[in-house]
Protein backbone atom coordinates (compact mmCIF):
# COMPACT_ATOMS: atom_id res chain seq x y z
CA UNK A 1 0.00 0.00 0.00
CA UNK A 2 2.65 2.54 0.96
CA UNK A 3 4.87 2.08 -2.09
CA UNK A 4 2.33 2.81 -4.83
CA UNK A 5 1.50 6.00 -6.73
CA UNK A 6 -1.18 6.63 -9.34
CA UNK A 7 -0.13 9.10 -12.02
CA UNK A 8 -2.29 10.88 -14.55
CA UNK A 9 -2.22 13.64 -17.12
CA UNK A 10 -5.87 14.56 -16.58
CA UNK A 11 -7.79 16.44 -13.93
CA UNK A 12 -8.03 14.83 -10.50
CA UNK A 13 -11.73 14.12 -10.06
CA UNK A 14 -13.69 12.31 -7.39
CA UNK A 15 -13.85 9.27 -9.69
CA UNK A 16 -10.08 9.10 -10.06
CA UNK A 17 -9.64 9.35 -6.29
CA UNK A 18 -12.19 6.56 -5.73
CA UNK A 19 -10.21 4.32 -8.10
CA UNK A 20 -7.12 4.95 -5.99
CA UNK A 21 -9.06 4.17 -2.80
CA UNK A 22 -10.32 0.86 -4.22
CA UNK A 23 -6.81 -0.07 -5.40
CA UNK A 24 -5.31 1.01 -2.04
CA UNK A 25 -3.00 3.57 -3.66
CA UNK A 26 -2.07 6.29 -1.14
CA UNK A 27 -0.69 8.94 -3.53
CA UNK A 28 -2.33 10.34 -6.67
CA UNK A 29 -0.44 12.84 -8.84
CA UNK A 30 -1.24 14.59 -12.10
CA UNK A 31 0.10 17.17 -14.51
CA UNK A 32 -3.33 18.84 -14.29
CA UNK A 33 -5.41 20.40 -11.52
CA UNK A 34 -7.50 18.76 -8.84
CA UNK A 35 -11.18 19.62 -8.73
CA UNK A 36 -13.14 20.13 -5.53
CA UNK A 37 -14.77 16.69 -5.45
CA UNK A 38 -11.38 15.02 -5.82
CA UNK A 39 -9.87 17.12 -3.05
CA UNK A 40 -12.75 16.39 -0.65
CA UNK A 41 -12.64 12.64 -1.25
CA UNK A 42 -8.86 12.47 -1.04
CA UNK A 43 -8.93 14.30 2.27
CA UNK A 44 -11.61 12.05 3.76
CA UNK A 45 -9.92 8.81 2.62
CA UNK A 46 -6.37 9.83 3.59
CA UNK A 47 -5.09 10.04 0.01
CA UNK A 48 -2.22 12.41 -0.80
CA UNK A 49 -3.42 14.40 -3.82
CA UNK A 50 -0.90 16.29 -5.95
CA UNK A 51 -1.60 18.44 -9.00
CA UNK A 52 0.34 20.59 -11.48
CA UNK A 53 3.44 18.40 -11.20
CA UNK A 54 6.27 20.05 -13.14
CA UNK A 55 9.77 18.92 -12.25
CA UNK A 56 10.25 19.70 -8.56
CA UNK A 57 7.23 22.01 -8.45
CA UNK A 58 3.77 20.77 -7.50
CA UNK A 59 0.61 21.63 -5.59
CA UNK A 60 -0.01 19.23 -2.70
CA UNK A 61 -3.72 19.44 -1.89
CA UNK A 62 -4.12 16.84 0.85
CA UNK A 63 -2.04 14.85 3.34
CA UNK A 64 1.42 16.29 2.52
CA UNK A 65 3.16 14.17 5.19
CA UNK A 66 3.96 11.48 2.60
CA UNK A 67 5.95 13.87 0.40
CA UNK A 68 9.56 14.74 1.22
CA UNK A 69 10.72 17.81 -0.66
Phi, psi for 37 (deg, rounded to 5): -65, -35
The full DSSP string for 7-64 is EESS-B-HHHHHHHHHTT--EEEESSPBPHHHHHHHHHHT-EEEEEEETTEEEEEE-G
pLDDT band at 3; cut points 50, 70, 90 = confident
- Domain positions in the chain are 5-66
Q: CATH assignment of 5-66?
A: 3.40.140.10
Mean predicted confidence (pLDDT) in 4-19: 96
Q: Which residues contact 43 (CB under 8 A, 6 or more apart)?
A: 49, 61, 62, 63
- Angle of helix 36-45 relative to helix 14-22, nearest 10 degrees, comes to 30
Mean predicted confidence (pLDDT) in 12-18: 97
Share of the chain above pLDDT 90, in %: 91
pLDDT at 69 over 90: no
Tens of pLDDT, residue by residue over 30-62, are 999 999 999 999 999 999 999 999 998 999 999
Amino acid sequence: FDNKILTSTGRLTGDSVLKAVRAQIPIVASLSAAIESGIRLADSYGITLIGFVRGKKMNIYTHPKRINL
